[in-house]
Amino acid sequence: MNEASKRRRWFGTDGIRGRVGTLPITPEAILRLGFAVGAELVSSSDQTNRPKVMIGKDTRISGYMLESALEAGFSAAGVDVLLVGPMPTPAVAYLTKALRLQAGVMISASHNPYDDNGIKFFNGAGAKLPDSWELAIEARMDQPMQTGSSKQLGKVRRLEDAPGRYIEFCKSTFPSDLDLKGLKIALDCAHGACYHVTPPVFHELGADIHVMGNTPDGININDQCGATYPQSISAFTRSTGADIGIALDGDGDRLMMCDATGRIFDGDDLLFAIAKDRYAQGVLGGGVVGTLMTNYALERAFKEQGIPFERAKVGDRYVLEGLMKNQWLLGGENSGHIICRDRHTTGDATVAALQVLAALRANRVSLSEWLSDLHRLPQVLINVRVEQARTLEQHPEVIEATQRVQEVLQGRGRVLLRASGTEPLLRVMVEGEDLKEVHALAEQLAAVVRQAA
């Protein structure tokens, strides 16, 4: 954990997130946040043109309240605002860059339940903002709000054609010499931000689409559906007789897929599917960045093919940092965040799905056939709910238990303890060659964590 993350009060690994109605996800705090961000943008602008920002949101009912608070804060600081309503997080990143805006804001708690919410920021290039910027915003939130005169207030308008712009962008990332004609796709939109934009993307490329999770009501986002509940897309794919299933999360930046039999493939599998095709075409563009959670099978497979591979800290922002450092193009997480830097500035579930489909269409194979040479090692992840997760990582009993597990594995696997950046959880991961052994070791270590808590 770097020094900046130690000092941050509100920002976590992916913006600000929490339970609606408790700090910092309250109208008052978000109003101050909007003003602080706006004041920072105004102070760093050339003073000749008023800064402009975009606000998007997912389908949570609390999005209306938080959108209004942010809008008021920005206007009070002298910043113009474009509203796009429910749109995927990567759509906000794309449109912010395409429209030459100074910042983009997404109101979402991603894969969390509906009674959580959060705020994510993008800079004018469509990239997530660095720790130093977040620290500057937190400092400004402690200062008094000083609204300017009426003529200095920002204006607000709605960008009506935002969905169409994003749909066309997604389609442009798919090879022009390929299409999806004859392919039957089952799609789960998680009752989230993609419900009205992703189905047209696949349909307009020629696929026969069967959609679930596309009737959001404000509280059903991610509810037993989407990328965090892939059992639903597995069953839906089988029941519709689809060739392939695609499940997105609530804000559209992560995905899972399944084949016609309902077999589920996670972000590690999909990252390998894309890398394998690009390597064969000679367009991989260097190596691949994974995370501490990436299955060791990928590292081993990449090594056998001569593909450089690096691990970053968990979080798509750290994957992107690794890609930028090495000037590579492809990276991702097993949770389903996949970044294709030659297609987008951030992780995009719809764009990533199109890259997987492009590989399958170009090679005329099914998903299971394409991934038949990837032999995953059993990996058990147990989320232990604790209030002081970061402190427990350094607890003497937990450290001793971790060392014992490592000694048992003796180089045949890995063990990792990681505090969640968005929830009060300590994630216990054990990976090895024998599932029964791995599961037992993970349970033993999780039990020590619970006792130490």
Residue ranges and CATH numbers for the domains of the chain are 3-160 (3.40.120.10), 165-246 (3.40.120.10), 267-370 (3.40.120.10), 379-452 (3.30.310.50)
β-bridge mates for residue 54, sequence order = 82, 104
* Confidence at residue 11, expressed as pLDDT on a 0 to 100 scale: 86
Question: Which stretch of DSSP H or E encloses residue 95?
Answer: helix 89-98
Higher pLDDT: 379 or 356? It is 356
* Confidence at residue 276, expressed as pLDDT on a 0 to 100 scale: 97
Cα–Cα nearest to 199, from 182, 212, 181? 212
Angle between helices 396-409 and 435-452 (to 10 degrees): 170
Identify the band that residue 137 occupies on the pLDDT scale cut at 50, 70 and 90.
very high
Q: What is the DSSP letter of 91?
A: H
**Mean pLDDT throughout 318-340?**
96
Which pairing describes strands 425-431 and 379-385: parallel, antiparallel, or unpaired? antiparallel
Q: What is the DSSP letter of 432?
A: -
Whether 127 shows a pLDDT value over 90: the answer reads no
Q: Does residue 51 have a cis bond before it (omega within 30 degrees)?
A: no
The helix, strand and coil proportions of the chain, stated in percent and rounded to the nearest 5, come to: 40, 20, 40
**Mean pLDDT throughout 203-214?**
98
* Confidence at residue 7, expressed as pLDDT on a 0 to 100 scale: 61
Question: Which stretch of DSSP H or E encloses residue 86?
Answer: strand 80-86
- For 375-434, where are the alpha helices, taking DSSP H only? 389-393, 396-409
Q: Is 110 a catalytic residue?
A: yes
Torsion, Cα 334 339 340 343, to 10 degrees, reads 140
**Mean pLDDT throughout 396-424?**
87
**Mean pLDDT throughout 368-378?**
94
Q: pTM for the whole thing?
A: 0.90
Q: What is the DSSP letter of 88?
A: -
* Confidence at residue 55, expressed as pLDDT on a 0 to 100 scale: 98
Whether 343 shows a pLDDT value over 80: the answer reads yes
Lowest mean pLDDT among 11-15, 198-202, 378-382: 11-15
The side-by-side arrangement of strands in the sheet containing 309-312 is 309-312, 288-291, 330-332, 338-340
Catalytic residue among 110, 232, 234, 335: 110
* Confidence at residue 423, expressed as pLDDT on a 0 to 100 scale: 78
* Confidence at residue 175, expressed as pLDDT on a 0 to 100 scale: 97
User: Cβ neighbours of residue 281 under 8 Å, at least 6 residues apart?
Assistant: none
Torsion, Cα 371 377 383 388, to 10 degrees, reads -120
**Mean pLDDT throughout 41-47?**
84
Whether 2 shows a pLDDT value over 70: the answer reads no
* Confidence at residue 130, expressed as pLDDT on a 0 to 100 scale: 78
Lowest mean pLDDT among 182-196, 336-350, 361-375, 407-421: 407-421
- Please say whether the beta carbons of 70 and 53 come within 8 A: no
If you average pLDDT over each of 34-48, 405-419, 435-449, which comes out highest? 435-449
State whether residue 413 is helix, strand or coil.
coil
Lowest mean pLDDT among 193-202, 400-409, 412-421: 412-421
Please state, in angstroms and rounded to a whole number, the distance separating the CA atoms of residues 103 and 80. 11
CB atoms < 10 A from the CB of 97, how many? 19
**Mean pLDDT throughout 29-55?**
92
Average pLDDT taken over every residue of the chain: 94
Whether 6 shows a pLDDT value over 60: the answer reads no
* Confidence at residue 420, expressed as pLDDT on a 0 to 100 scale: 80
Whether 4 shows a pLDDT value over 70: the answer reads no
Question: Which stretch of DSSP H or E encloses residue 437?
Answer: helix 435-452
Identify the band that residue 441 occupies on the pLDDT scale cut at 50, 70 and 90.
very high
Please state, in angstroms and rounded to a whole number, the distance separating the CA atoms of residues 247 and 379. 21
Give the whole-number percent of the chain exceeding pLDDT 90.
83
